[in-house]
Structure 1
Amino acid sequence: MSGPILQVALPSPLRRLFDYRAPGGAHAKDLRPGQRIRVPFGQRQMVGVIASLSDASDVPPARLKRAVELIDLEPLLPETLWQLCCWTASYYQHGLGDTLSCALPTLLRQGEPAIARQDRLWQLLPGAYPEHPAISRAAKQKQAVQLLAKHPHGLSHALTAQWGLSRDTLEALEKKGLVQRISQSHHHTNEPLPLLREPRLTPNSQQVAALDAIKAQSGFTAWLLDGVTGSGKTEIYLQAIEHCLGEGRQVLVLIPEIGLTPQTLERFQRRFSVPVVILHSGLNDRERLDAWVAARDGEAGIVIGTRSAIFTPLARPGLIIVDEEHDLSFKQQEGLRYNARDLAVYRAYLEKTPIILGSATPSLESLYNVRRGRYQHLRLTERAGNAKPPTFQCIDIRSRKLEAGLCRPMIEAIGEHLSKGNQVLVFINRRGFAPTLMCHDCGWMAECTRCDARMTVHQSPPRLHCHHCDSQRPVDTECPKCQSTELRSIGAGTERTEEHLVSCFPEFPVLRIDRESMSRKKAMQDMLARIQTGQPCLLVGTQMLAKGHHFPDVTLVAILDADGGLFSSDFRGPERMAQMITQVAGRAGRAEKPGQVLIQTHMAEHQLLIDLTEHGYATIAQNELNGREKAGLPPCSFIALLRAEANNAAIANEFLESACELAEQLCVDLALEKVDLLGPVASPMERRAGRYRAQLLVQAPHRSALHQLLHHWLISLESHSLGRKVRWSIDVDPLDMF
């Protein structure tokens, strides 16, 4: 057969490549791995990526289809990023095509050219200046002129949007003859601009030591920046970024949540004059592609993004930063179940660049890597400036009457701090008005018809909502079991706590921050701006409030329920509880004002709470890590979770039983020792969204043994007779056991 055979990775759940003949007119010298190609697939066409070229195929020549067209003249991804995607697919036992699909912006997956929008640069025309009479009363247009004046070669729409300038504003200036649109070919990225917009802060001795250590190393080094809340980790990021930008290189910054993007972006833009782009799921497809191209072409000096931004190409990579590295949001829980923090470390290794993993509550995985000498440990034990750490106090609520989840001493403490002109943060890790609806006469509780879970009562608008499958229904007016109308909302969520605090403190605004109240675009940004005014107020929220926010006027943090992690069935429960309390507590007393943390608990004498409040997170982490080593639990061993779900519980269990027998035989055939198979067992929430779930845990003391088994095991499972009757998946290094 003439011409090479193309082995194409297609966005499919199948863990295999597909063979095609080269498109008509394409020469062998023009075909390379990493190029996108359009191919026929069944009754439709798909866009795939050439993974390799071969001289032969297992497909008979008569059945081998010809590709439709070659989309890219050059490979779409740089070599190191291509290696990262291939390694990701291999490590997480996922199809290469689906992995590449996750790594690319939507428009590229659809076959769009890998360029930003045409005529994409806005440039100031001669004679335009901020005080021009035509814009004397147009503040936004003045702002746009001031910005473009600093970039004489023009700025892309994606970058002007980062400064809050709309297309309408720029088009209005265009009509007034003050700006013009020019093509990309007129743009020069190496503008001689001052690097800093504002001077750097003076670091303290611990920050100086950390910065000196980071700057002294070249090439790949993994740094764990372990700093208490308010210790100035962000300032270290900024000065490390300054050093990197000064060498003409780019920086990738990963953050765990979209909600942190506005304040991170604002702080970076305030410090640096280089273009900064953001990448997260809140962008539309065109905005995401523009930012991706700006990063790939080297136009953007700093790239800020959530977990998927780890796959963003950089023209001149120089530094990777993972902020709040312990956060579970870095782990993708569906489809390609990758951990962006771990991929960031491997990418830094491939790029030969340093990486900084920052957190006030480092994960045990990172601390274990420090203990093994893989990461370098940088400690910041003091808060920046004159800020002092908050004081802790546990309030034993046994036998106390609770009002919407609040005891009387807690309410009095809140009133005291508000009366002094301060802000108070009330943390309750439950959304909605109440955890459930119960009949006072017979004890019936409102349960989800599709999950083994109770429905949460919401008040705005009134409804029962399952937060596991997202099903909703009207609130019952009578008990379906005994027809009683004595139905009561049991427990407290953010809505009920908000309602009660409004009645207790009507003269102070109560601001609720949870996924329901922050669903509107820019809602979080607007709320943070309101908080930053410093006016006395009450903040009521869930974990969204605990992640990296700077609230200088919060002097009291009230934690309403600290007992959830004390008796968790997950071995990570104590670690997560300690992280959550420490992170929330860190919002108090971050400026000149002293902070106080009050914790409501039924277990005030529990050793974990005592250690946490008296000795801090570091003691908890070391104790937990020692316990994990003795028990042989991750990170001191390696695990994977095979999950199966079906409409019938028996089928899911039958599949896993068969899979377990197959794995046991493979361990014998491959001479794999000390590989343990635990299960199958029903998942902690057995029924979810109408399907029954079960799981099988595989554990090994060495990563190589685990992956050797997984490789052979999954190949067999893909052709298993029961495989088509169940929906199954593999999760390597799972963080959620449910």
Structure 2
Amino acid sequence: MYAEVALAQGNFVYFLGDEFGWISPGCPVLVPFRNSTRMGIVVKVMATTTVEKVKSVKAALSEEPILGRGLISLSSIMAEYYGASQGKCIKLMLPPWVRERIKNGKPLVYESRVPDHRQAGKEPFEPKEQKLHPEVQNAISSHRFKTFLLFGEGRMDTYLASIECTLGEGREAIFLQSEIALTFGVVEKMRSKFGDCIAVLHSKLRQKERAILWEGIRRGNFGVCVGSMSAVFAPFPNLGLIIVDREDSDAYKAEQHPWHNVRDVAVMRAKIDKIPCILGSSTPSFESFYNAKRDKYELLHTGKTGRTLPVTIVDMHKEKTGALSRYLMKRTRETLDRGEKVVLFLPRKGYSQFCMCLDCGWIPYCPRCSVTLNYYKKGHKLKCHYCGYERPAPTMCENCGGIRFAYPGGGTERLEMTIKSAFRGARIIRMDKDILRTPAECERAYRDFKENGDILLGTQFVIRVPQPESVTLVGMISCDPILSFPDFRTSERVFSQIMKTKEMIKKGEIVLQTYNPQNPTFNYIKNDDYVSFYSEEFKKRRRFKLPPSSHLIRILSTSTEKEKAREFINGVAEELRKCGYQFLGASPCPIERIKGRWRYHILVKVSDPRKFFHNTSLPRAVSVEVDPRDMM
């Protein structure tokens, strides 16, 4: 007998001795590889092989498979789609603690520590018509693959009814949220409805705690898994439903190889397991809405899009009052006088984007990245947001010796000082990654705002979580930094961001400050008109063969030597020309250097990434990302 074993370097065939005749797909094994011994996962068992000079499996590390056949199949499909090895995709599915325990031949967790919250004898659920669409109920009951796009606000009723129906069928459900911080409110609702059968799984848990929950899920001891990215791989033995809320969020896109999109992986897994998948959003991603338009997904409306909030657009060219316009200052003061709360959003951290000598114009840059250093007044320091490099802020210009400096482009630190000065006595809570580093700290700060705060200010987090009813004013200090990004998705991101802010509060007003009030995106936002916005944007993208009508593949070459990085990318460009592919580049990335490595990239337009990887052979010196969300 022979086994195909998935390693990080690829799949390899090994001989199975008689003592390993019981091994099946999903079992971890130790195998010789080059001059070392590696741990791999068996993905296939065969009676014969055409491979010559086959080495033997050294040891089996578990008496049973640790991954089911569904997850093994998923890893294979992911590897094919994302151009990665199956071993690297399997690595995503196993928590680090689990991998280490298996590698060292230890039990995953001690039996007494595995929680058990099985739902025994639960009566089948009879859904109410207004909460669960008949097509969704039918797909759950018949164990049939189908992807639903749930469009609109008030999606939670449908989610809860779908999960209850799934549990009534004796199966399990996965509920995905784009941010770890968003899971807290969801878990509270679910535990009040379903009891203790909820497992919360995400990467910020302590490794041991995460491994214990993972093992409990693998044994079927939970009914529902709530989490962010890693929860899509929850190893349920009898999975019946996957829900992806806010499916358009960029947070679902992995930031390291194989750069998978959790939304797409959820659909892949649902197809393998022959179960329904519900994607939900008030502003669906263009890719999902495109699939719904082509009847690949079934579009469902929540019927709760009638509530509209006024959006006031302030032209900052007419203002000379700094970060806050006169109108926003007035509305903030009126809101506080009524005893209500205010949320202010600014997509930049720190005090200033950079510091500049007023005598010669010198600006300090990061020595390891092609970006300016952000200025922090607290500590009088400069910091790079890409590599973490820090240095004291200069008191004398290193170019001309001048001592006069300007600090343009304010961030959350400066905004906090401005607010404290303008609204003395107001209780101000600031939320950004400079001061809140863990989900627990975020939860405490958010709870403090709900109970005691007057003004909440910060970066992305403050507009991603549902706010208390007492919040009646949201100020978007500036969306211009996002609109200025060299990316065809910038309008989609701004539209989605502001529309989600409208979803976040129940009543009141949104004030949007901008230096570009004529941007057509703002008219669609004021009219709550996603469909027209999609139609216009899609026409532009189709003209240039951009997603969603095609796929983009980004090929990135990096090196500590600039010439070497350029040489690698030019070699790839020559190979692509021979294969007849359309591409943009090879050229330096918008941020040419990060963490001491020079960066060059190519963007390839393809109809099917799997065919691209099948027809081309790319050097290992470059990294490849399918459907990139960040072009920087």
TM-score normalised by length of structure 2: 0.93
Choose from 355, 360, 370 the match for 2:282: 360
| 1:568 and 1:574 in contact (8 A); partners too | no
Q: What amino acid is aligned across from residue 390 of structure 1 in structure 2?
A: L
Deviation of 1:191 (Å): 3.9
Choose from 294, 297, 307 the match for 2:219: 297
Q: Which residue of 2 aligns with 1:251?
A: 173
Instruction: Summarize the Cα distance change of 1:421–1:49 in structure 2 as closer, same or farther, 3 Å threshold.
Output: same
| 1:5 and 1:21 in contact (8 A); partners too | yes
* Match status 1:525 vs 2:447: no
* Match status 1:686 vs 2:592: yes
Partner SS state of residue 370, structure 1? helix
Q: Which residue of 1 aligns with 2:30?
A: 38
Q: Which residue of 1 aligns with 2:321?
A: 402
Whole-angstrom CA distance in 2 between matches of 1:505 and 1:220: 55
Mapping of 1:502-541 within 5 angstroms?
Answer: 502-520=420-438, 522-533=440-451, 535=452, 537-541=454-458
After the TM superposition, which segments of 4 or more aligned residues of structure 1 sit over 6 Å from their partners? 193-196
Partner SS state of residue 660, structure 1? helix
Deviation of 1:41 (Å): 4.2
Q: Which residue of 2 aligns with 1:412?
A: 330
Partner SS state of residue 490, structure 1? coil
Measured against aligned partners, the alpha-carbon deviations of 1:280-322 in whole angstroms (never above 9, x if no partner) come to 1111221111111121211111101111221121122111100
Partner SS state of residue 130, structure 2? helix
* Match status 1:624 vs 2:537: yes
Deviation of 1:475 (Å): 1.8
Mapping of 1:568-587 within 5 angstroms?
Answer: 568-587=485-504
Whole-angstrom CA distance in 1 between matches of 2:52 and 2:383: 51
CA RMSD of aligned residues (A): 2.5
Whole-angstrom CA distance in 2 between matches of 1:19 and 1:350: 25
Whole-angstrom CA distance in 2 between matches of 1:521 and 1:195: 36
Instruction: Summarize the Cα distance change of 1:665–1:521 in structure 2 as closer, same or farther, 3 Å threshold.
Output: closer
* Match status 1:608 vs 2:605: no
Q: Which residue of 1 aligns with 2:44?
A: 52
Deviation of 1:194 (Å): 8.9
Partner SS state of residue 9, structure 1? strand
Measured against aligned partners, the alpha-carbon deviations of 1:508-534 in whole angstroms (never above 9, x if no partner) come to 11111111222145111112222333x
Most deviating of 299-308 and 259-268: 259-268
Whole-angstrom CA distance in 2 between matches of 1:34 and 1:679: 41
Whole-angstrom CA distance in 2 between matches of 1:536 and 1:120: 40
Deviation of 1:22 (Å): 3.5
| 1:226 and 1:361 in contact (8 A); partners too | yes
Q: What amino acid is aligned across from residue 277 of structure 1 in structure 2?
A: A
Whole-angstrom CA distance in 1 between matches of 2:449 and 2:189: 16
Deviation of 1:212 (Å): 3.8
Whole-angstrom CA distance in 2 between matches of 1:20 and 1:460: 59
Q: What amino acid is aligned across from residue 321 of structure 2 in structure 1?
A: L
Measured against aligned partners, the alpha-carbon deviations of 1:380-430 in whole angstroms (never above 9, x if no partner) come to 35369xxx4211110111041133x11222112111111111110101000
Choose from 371, 389, 397 the match for 1:471: 389
| 2:429 and 2:453 in contact (8 A); partners too | no
Deviation of 1:192 (Å): 4.9
Mapping of 1:540-559 within 5 angstroms?
Answer: 540-559=457-476
Deviation of 1:487 (Å): 2.0
Whole-angstrom CA distance in 2 between matches of 1:462 and 1:39: 54
Choose from 417, 433, 436 the match for 1:499: 417
* Match status 1:70 vs 2:64: no
Mapping of 1:116-135 within 5 angstroms?
Answer: 116-120=109-113
Q: Which residue of 1 aligns with 2:145?
A: 220
Compare CA radii of gyration and give the structure with the larger one: 1
Most deviating of 93-102 and 33-42: 33-42
Deviation of 1:564 (Å): 3.1
Partner SS state of residue 445, structure 1? coil
Partner SS state of residue 570, structure 2? helix
Whole-angstrom CA distance in 2 between matches of 1:615 and 1:361: 10
Measured against aligned partners, the alpha-carbon deviations of 1:615-649 in whole angstroms (never above 9, x if no partner) come to 43333223212332333211101221111011222
| 1:612 and 1:619 in contact (8 A); partners too | no
| 1:545 and 1:584 in contact (8 A); partners too | no
Whole-angstrom CA distance in 2 between matches of 1:45 and 1:607: 59
Instruction: Summarize the Cα distance change of 1:514–1:188 in structure 2 as closer, same or farther, 3 Å threshold.
Output: closer
Partner SS state of residue 402, structure 1? coil
Q: Which residue of 1 aligns with 2:3?
A: 6
Measured against aligned partners, the alpha-carbon deviations of 1:202-222 in whole angstroms (never above 9, x if no partner) come to 99xxx8175344224341121
Instruction: Summarize the Cα distance change of 1:270–1:419 in structure 2 as closer, same or farther, 3 Å threshold.
Output: same
Deviation of 1:44 (Å): 4.8
Partner SS state of residue 173, structure 2? strand
Q: Which residue of 2 aligns with 1:100?
A: 90
Instruction: Summarize the Cα distance change of 1:554–1:242 in structure 2 as closer, same or farther, 3 Å threshold.
Output: same
| 2:565 and 2:600 in contact (8 A); partners too | yes
Q: What amino acid is aligned across from residue 549 of structure 1 in structure 2?
A: P
Whole-angstrom CA distance in 2 between matches of 1:487 and 1:188: 61
Whole-angstrom CA distance in 1 between matches of 2:149 and 2:373: 41
Whole-angstrom CA distance in 2 between matches of 1:599 and 1:556: 11
* Match status 1:349 vs 2:263: no
* Match status 1:560 vs 2:477: yes
Choose from 393, 401, 407 the match for 1:483: 401
Whole-angstrom CA distance in 2 between matches of 1:516 and 1:565: 20
Whole-angstrom CA distance in 1 between matches of 2:110 and 2:329: 55
Q: What amino acid is aligned across from residue 620 of structure 1 in structure 2?
A: F
Choose from 709, 721, 728 the match for 2:612: 709
Instruction: Summarize the Cα distance change of 1:383–1:371 in structure 2 as closer, same or farther, 3 Å threshold.
Output: closer
Partner SS state of residue 623, structure 2? strand
Percent identity over the alignment is: 29
| 2:146 and 2:297 in contact (8 A); partners too | yes
Measured against aligned partners, the alpha-carbon deviations of 1:545-575 in whole angstroms (never above 9, x if no partner) come to 2224233221001011122344442111111
Whole-angstrom CA distance in 2 between matches of 1:32 and 1:8: 11
Measured against aligned partners, the alpha-carbon deviations of 1:6-29 in whole angstroms (never above 9, x if no partner) come to 33222x3x3x22344436x6243x
Mapping of 1:111-510 within 5 angstroms?
Answer: 111-112=101-102, 115-120=108-113, 156=115, 189-192=118-121, 208=130, 211-217=133-139, 218=142, 219-227=144-152, 231-382=153-304, 388-403=307-322, 405-510=323-428
Most deviating of 480-489 and 679-688: 480-489
Q: Which residue of 1 aligns with 2:601?
A: 695
| 1:324 and 1:360 in contact (8 A); partners too | yes
Instruction: Summarize the Cα distance change of 1:71–1:336 in structure 2 as closer, same or farther, 3 Å threshold.
Output: same
Give the length in aligned residue pairs.
625
Measured against aligned partners, the alpha-carbon deviations of 1:256-293 in whole angstroms (never above 9, x if no partner) come to 11111222222211222141111111112211111111
Instruction: Summarize the Cα distance change of 1:383–1:369 in structure 2 as closer, same or farther, 3 Å threshold.
Output: closer
